[in-house]
Chain A
Amino acid sequence: MNLERIKPHLPWITLVSLVLIVGIGDSNFLRPHNLISMVADIMPLFIMALGMTLVIFIGGIDLSAQSVANMTTVVATVALPTFGIGAALLCVVAGLAIGAISGFITTKLFVPSFVSTLAMGGVAYSAAQYLSGERALYMDATLRDGAFGWMVGSSFGIPHEIFLGAVLLLGTLFLQSRTTFGRALKAVGAGELAAVASGLSVTRIKVLAFALSGMLAAIAGLLFSVKLSGGSPTLANGFLLPAIVAVLVGGTPLTGGVGGVVNTLIGTLIVAVIRASMLYFEIDATMQQMIFGIILIIAIASTIDRSKLRVVK
């Protein structure tokens, strides 16, 4: 048994150990009801992290995810009275478009993804401020329940957020492992030049990955806004760090090529358990951001594939 053999299993081992540690500390944590509501609460973050996974998988990053989610909370709230459930479609299209533009700027104009997504994040933020009139908005309760009640209800004791997350997970998992797009994604992540040389249309693949990331960030924003019954240009602030942490802790390294959406499920659950444990162990909530920042550094350092980086810039 060497470290390289154990490494792929570390994420779920971490998750199980964390659950056990918190469970031993306070057995209330292990009640099914508690675990289920914990998972339901983390679903918006999980959906955003799913999208982030696709972009990190090809060695990029999407720093616009949080701004896109912010924007869609506003879009959903503003569009609800006029379009009803059609507001969801608007959100999805807006997310797809912003992601696709980021992808286009990255691949065709050679702007590194952290700059292009940061810039498109600025565009999304301006759009959110414009649409909201720079205020926090609230959804009308009857309209919300009519159009989006299905998102936040519950069946058989399981909140619908979890079903939504599961459907998106299965969808992305299918894309990742059963389609040529998924294979191509892996090829690009494993080595972009080789992928180009083998005749893949790398541009199309990368643009699609960014577009899907934008779309999933938009769905995350939509779900979050329905949960909180409102929208504002800063509602989803604080999502970006845990979303990146979830992807990396799950075992998809920053250099791309390995890992995937199932890893991100485990990573997101780790984030959820760490958050919950801070409540149970009465650690001040103001420490949370610092702790996740440090976890992020550790996660990057221990997963990154240094053989891929000739010089570390």
Chain B
Amino acid sequence: MNGILSRETLVKWAPLMVLLILVLFFTVLEPRFLSVRNLARISVSAAPALMVALGVTFIIIMGSIDLSMEGTVSVSAVIFAFAFLYLGGTLFGLAWLALPLAVLVGAVIGLINGIVHVKLRIPSFMASLAMGFVGTGLALLLTGGDRIRVEDEAFRGLLTERWLGFPIMVYVAIAFVLVGWFIQSRTTLGRNFYAVGGGEELAHASGLNVSKVRILGFMLAGMFYAVGALLAVARIGIAETATGNNFMFMSITSVVVGGTALWGGIGGVWNTLVGVLIVNVIGNGMVVIGLPGYVQDAVLGLLVIVAVVLSTDRKSISFVK
């Protein structure tokens, strides 16, 4: 089958088709779905998740997995909030320094995550899951279970200021998609992710320092999680241990549904953008047409299974763990 309907073409465009069909479906059932107001609502809830999903995209392209996002997001959010308030609590003062600090925190956690995975030779899903638990624990230790309010108007402007009907944080998110796209397609590191994912032994044999690429990948992912944390705090105005809740399930689902294969080597940031939109359109659309919110986790669970099954070439693998 080499025609337009070959398996590869289908797999490549299926996520976008699914997104369009979903949008059409919800619009037919409830025309208000397509109003600027509702689209803005979808993009605001998608923005933090998109940042986290972009980070884990690079890891999944390498054929690894990162489950540490909940902990990393919580720690970055909490440290950001503490630093922000300590430095005066307004973006127009020194407190803007808390923004790069949060990203630095994300990078450090990602770095430790990568080192634990690569140097101790622990499979990434378990190393990162454990690091995620440590992160959530650290956030709990730092806050003692309290919520920290960030009420600075300039910072919350990410949510409250609108251009063309959409809050600024949506444009920030789009800018970071472009950054991710640049890293993926125009940098050596980005290309190396694909090399590792396409075949680790071959990449190693051609002289690539696979360990270094992996560690840098986890560090980069940590930085994107921190950006996600900043947007999440801007969205609700609160930093707490629970800030990171649900990001793991959401982001992994989004990446996989977008068409980035768990086996690595295929997909990228555009797939993730489509995947995050699919997940959020489903979440929003179900509420708009009047379905209860609690169905969402089940639907996402089934969706991720279908996506993995469709993206798997079953002739090439003998078993999975």
Which A residues form the contact surface with B (CB < 8 A)?
A: 59-61, 105-107, 109-116, 118-123, 125-127, 129-130, 134, 192-193, 196, 202, 241, 254, 284, 286-294, 296-297, 300-301, 304, 306, 309, 311-313
CB closest chain-A residue, reference B319: A192
A122 to B253, CA, bound (A): 11
CB-defined contacts of B299 to chain A, threshold 8 Å: 126
Which listed segment binds A: B76-84, B122-130, B181-189? B122-130
Q: Kindly state whether residue B201 has any CB partner on chain A within 8 Å.
A: yes
Contacting residues of chain B (121-141) with chain A, CB-CB under 8 angstroms = 121-127, 130-138, 140-141
Chain A interface, DSSP helix/strand/loop, else mixed: helix
Which listed segment binds A: B3-11, B48-56, B148-156, B289-297? B289-297
A257 to B298, CA, bound (A): 33
CB closest chain-B residue, reference A63: B129
Q: Kindly state whether residue B110 has any CB partner on chain A within 8 Å.
A: no
Q: Kindly state whether residue B63 has any CB partner on chain A within 8 Å.
A: yes
Q: Is the CB of A112 within 8 A of B320?
A: yes
A52 to B314, CA, bound (A): 27
Q: Is the CB of B137 within 8 A of A122?
A: no
Partner of B130, one of A112, A287, A297: A297
Q: Is the CB of A110 within 8 A of B122?
A: no
A297 to B129, CA, bound (A): 9
- Contact (A126, B308) CB under 8 Å given A61-B126, A254-B123, A311-B201: no
CB-defined contacts of A192 to chain B, threshold 8 Å: 319, 321
Chain B interface, DSSP helix/strand/loop, else mixed: helix
Q: Is the CB of A313 within 8 A of B133?
A: no
A160 to B103, CA, bound (A): 51
Contact mask B301-315 → A, CB, 8 Å, 1/0?
Answer: 110110011001010
- Contact (A130, B294) CB under 8 Å given A110-B317, A290-B134, A312-B122: yes
CB-defined contacts of B264 to chain A, threshold 8 Å: 313
> How many residues of chain B get a CB closer than 8 Å to chain A's CBs?
57
Q: Is the CB of A115 within 8 A of B145?
A: no
CB-defined contacts of A312 to chain B, threshold 8 Å: 117-118, 121-124
Partner of A126, one of B136, B252, B294, B312: B294
Q: Kindly state whether residue B144 has any CB partner on chain A within 8 Å.
A: yes
Q: Is the CB of B305 within 8 A of A313?
A: no
CB closest chain-A residue, reference B120: A301
- Contact (A193, B297) CB under 8 Å given A123-B302, A301-B120, A312-B123: no
CB-defined contacts of A202 to chain B, threshold 8 Å: 319
Instruction: Give B212 Cβ to nearest chain A Cβ, in Å.
Output: 15
Q: Is the CB of B297 within 8 A of A123?
A: yes
What are 28 A-B contacts with C-beta separation under 8 Å? A107-B319, A109-B308, A110-B314, A110-B320, A112-B262, A113-B320, A114-B67, A116-B305, A119-B302, A122-B297, A196-B319, A254-B123, A284-B141, A286-B140, A289-B133, A290-B134, A293-B130, A293-B131, A296-B133, A297-B130, A300-B127, A301-B120, A304-B122, A312-B117, A312-B124, A313-B63, A313-B64, A313-B124
CB-defined contacts of A129 to chain B, threshold 8 Å: 294, 297
Q: Kindly state whether residue B46 has any CB partner on chain A within 8 Å.
A: no
CB-defined contacts of A116 to chain B, threshold 8 Å: 305
Partner of B136, one of A60, A105, A289, A306: A289
